[in-house]
């Protein structure tokens, strides 16, 4: 069976390209999805790419990943810094999650330096802009490969 990865994007990431390009870069979310699909095709894995501005929808998508996806890449946007509910969802699903951010959250405002995702993720990639997405695909596949 082909390995399937879910790439989940949280609030305001639908606005990439026009949203604070000095922080998040000029690349749109559609560009990033294309980058991920090209990478996935080269590696022979399936990628499902999704975005929601709603915490509950993100939680529903995490739950639905059980039995469907071998791993998840999650850019939870601002929910990273607030959502115990997303943290609990990750703890509940038994699917490995790589935490991802375009910006280096550790070099920004103090409130962005706390992540509720980090303690329940297998690892974190941040600060590499759109290039972080293909890096995260390599990271989750390496983790899954070693866990087998
Ligand atoms: C972000 C960082 C978050 O602090 C912010 O709220 C975002 C984007 C990033 O990708 O750098 O929405 O997750």
Tell whether the model's pLDDT for residue 146 goes beyond 80. Answer: no
How far apart CA 97 and CA 116 sit, in angstroms, is 13
Give yes or no for residue 117 CB within 6 A of ligand 1.
no
Substitution site in 77, 79, 81, 82 for ligand 1 pocket (most atoms within 8 Å of beta carbon)? 77
Looking at the chain, the whole-number percentage of residues with pLDDT higher than 70 is: 99
* Between residues 17 and 146, the one the model is more confident about: 17
CA distance 87 to 45: 26
Q: What is the pLDDT of residue 79?
A: 98
Count Cβ neighbours within 10 Å for each residue of 30-60 and write b for 16 or more, e otherwise.
eebbebbeebbeeeebebbbebbeebeebbe
The mean pLDDT value for 71-79 works out to 98
Dihedral (CA of 51, 8, 104, 40) sign? negative
pLDDT band for position 148 (50/70/90)? low
pLDDT of residue 60: 98
State the average pLDDT over residues 133-147: 94
**CA 36/CA 139 separation, integer angstroms:** 13
Looking at residue 1, its pLDDT comes to 76
Q: Give residue-wise pLDDT tens across range 77-124.
A: 999 999 999 999 999 999 999 999 999 999 999 999 999 999 999 999
Alpha-helical (H) ranges within the chain are 21-24, 29-43, 55-64, 84-93, 132-147
Q: The sheet that has 123-126: what strands, in order across it?
A: 46-51, 4-9, 71-75, 97-101, 123-126
Say yes or no to pLDDT of 21 above 70: yes
Residue range 10-35: average pLDDT?
96
Give the pLDDT score at 137.
98
Nearest CA to ligand 1 atom 12: 77
Q: Tell me how far the alpha carbon of residue 1 lies from the centroid of ligand 1, in angstroms.
A: 33
Q: What is the mean pLDDT of the chain?
A: 96
Atom 9 of ligand 1, nearest CA residue: 101
Domains of the chain: 4-147 (3.40.50.9100)
Query: Rounded CA gap, 6 and 127, in Å?
Result: 21
Task: Give 46's strand partners.
Answer: 4
């Amino acid at each position: 069976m082909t390995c399937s990865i879910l790439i989940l994007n949280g609030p305001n990431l639908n606005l990439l390209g026009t949203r604070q390009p000095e922080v998040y870069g000029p690349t749109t979310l559609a560009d990033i999805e294309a980058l991920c699909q090209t990478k996935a095709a080269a590696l022979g894995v399936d990628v499902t790419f999704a975005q929601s501005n709603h915490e509950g929808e993100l939680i529903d998508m995490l739950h639905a990943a059980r039995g469907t996806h071998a791993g998840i890449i999650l850019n939870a946007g601002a929910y990273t810094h607030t959502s115990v509910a997303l943290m609990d969802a990750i703890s509940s699903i038994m699917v490995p999650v790589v935490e991802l951010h375009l910006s280096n959250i550790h070099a920004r405002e103090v409130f962005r330096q706390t992540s509720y995702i980090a303690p329940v993720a297998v690892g974190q990639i941040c600060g590499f802009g759109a290039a972080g997405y293909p890096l995260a695909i390599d990271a989750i596949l390496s983790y899954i490969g070693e866990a087998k």
